[in-house]
Amino acid sequence: MPERSPSQPDASPSDLDGPDQASWGPGYHLWLRLRREWAGQGADQPISIRLASHLALFIVAMGFLLFSRLQLPQWQVQEIALLEAPPATATPITLQQLVMARGGPNVSATGPLMRAAVPFTTIPERPRLDIEIYSVRPGDTVFDIAAKFGLKPETIMWSNIELELNPDLLRVNDELVILPVDGVYHQVKKGDTITALAKRYKVQPAAIVGYAWNELNSADEPLPAERYLIIPGGEKPFVPRRVSVYNGPIPPGARKGTGTFVWPASGTMTQQYWNGHRAIDIASWTGAPVVASDSGYIVYAGWNDDGYGNLVIINHGNGYRTYYAHLNIVLVRTGESVGQGQHIGSIGSTGRSTGPHLHFEIRFNEVLRNPLGFLPPAP
């Protein structure tokens, strides 16, 4: 086959599909070249590599043409005036000064500083303004009920007449009056005056008149009988329970107390000594042993109608007496001598009680003392 001169066109007349070869542009000649490469004409390299390179070149060219027709968005940058740096010896700029420099506290929301809403609001706890009625639950004590309502236990006692002589007089489902403030709940009797009540409960007349719940106008206002008043901050004197005990001669061979005391039972102390409950309560399982806290002789053993239930009282012969109340079983008799640590009964829930526990008192010359001041540290 004769060789082709460099100036000779890439395509022969036989390759043309149309009548006028001169009317075709460079795209047609590119097409002819691709056809020759596909057919293997004049290839110095493998057909697949040459074809791939041309296709890649074609794709790049088409991509460039498409990209040149796109219009990119025009971004507008807002110019922000910058604060001049303070001199080295000047006082540092505070956040408040920076806000004022930007136009004061009402600076535009589009500026660098803006007000932000605080999503959290603290609502203060409002005091109760009215009386509530509480139903006693198993295991409740006056101390626990008072803690639930943020009151002193004395307020619970002074608001419920049955508890005044015995704070242990609690039964499940008993309904208790709960005052909104610490003080006394008083039922007016014939002849009561605001001045007399203020003196009785150790408050100023203005405290009674000024309490909104009472709806009083002056200290001279007459009080109708049977109505109730709240005496905020009022107090009542403590009245100990009296129990008739054996007062006969000391039994022969009766032991005398050592002056030291041991724990009368094991368990959990559920109520401590306070003004209205001058004793401690030790909770445990029904039937748990109760022992004499010190040596002495029995002056009371049996049932008590004042709320103690089954009760044992030991006279220690040195001015001290100890009380063991709400017992399930009593194991001693009046006049019997007992030694320190001797088994005298078992824990129960007799009398006015909401659960098995031992009510333990220490009295010196009939004055109730805090047992925790006489007992050793709890084990």
At residue 107, the pLDDT reads: 45
318 burial (CB, 10 Å; 0-12 / 13-18 / 19+) is middle
- Cα–Cα distance, 61 to 55 (Å, whole number): 10
pLDDT digit string (tens) for the chain, length 379 residues? 444 444 444 444 444 444 455 556 666 666 666 666 655 544 455 556 666 777 777 787 777 666 666 565 565 655 555 555 555 554 555 555 554 555 554 444 444 445 555 555 554 556 778 999 999 998 788 888 999 999 999 999 999 988 876 776 778 899 999 999 999 999 999 999 999 999 999 999 999 999 999 999 999 999 999 999 999 999 998 877 788 888 888 888 899 999 999 999 999 998 888 887 889 999 999 999 999 999 999 999 999 988 899 999 999 999 999 999 999 999 999 999 999 999 999 999 998 887 899 999 999 999 999 999 999 987 6
- Cα–Cα distance, 83 to 25 (Å, whole number): 64
> How many CB atoms are located within 10 Å of the residue 139 CB?
14
- Cα–Cα distance, 254 to 273 (Å, whole number): 30
Asked if residues 216 and 207 have their Cβ atoms less than 8 Å apart, the reply is: no
At residue 108, the pLDDT reads: 46
Beta-bridge partners for 361: 323
Asked if residues 299 and 366 have their Cβ atoms less than 8 Å apart, the reply is: no
Asked if residues 226 and 187 have their Cβ atoms less than 8 Å apart, the reply is: yes
At residue 8, the pLDDT reads: 46
Place of tokens 């010196």: 364
What backbone torsions phi and psi does residue 200 show, to the nearest 5 degrees?
-65, -40
- Cα–Cα distance, 295 to 314 (Å, whole number): 8
At residue 125, the pLDDT reads: 58
At residue 239, the pLDDT reads: 75
Please give the model's pTM, rounded to 2 decimal places. 0.57
Query: What stretch of H or E contains 36?
Result: helix 26-39
Q: Where are the domains of the chain?
A: 132-232, 268-373
- Cα–Cα distance, 332 to 351 (Å, whole number): 19
Fold entry, domain 268-373: Glucose Permease (Domain IIA) (2.70.70)
Distance set, CA 148 to CA 152, 213, 230, 233, 306 (Å): 10, 22, 20, 19, 27
At residue 302, the pLDDT reads: 96
Query: What is the number of alpha carbons within 13 Å of residue 54 lying toward its C-beta?
Result: 16
Give the architecture-level CATH label for domain 132-232.
Answer: Roll (3.10)
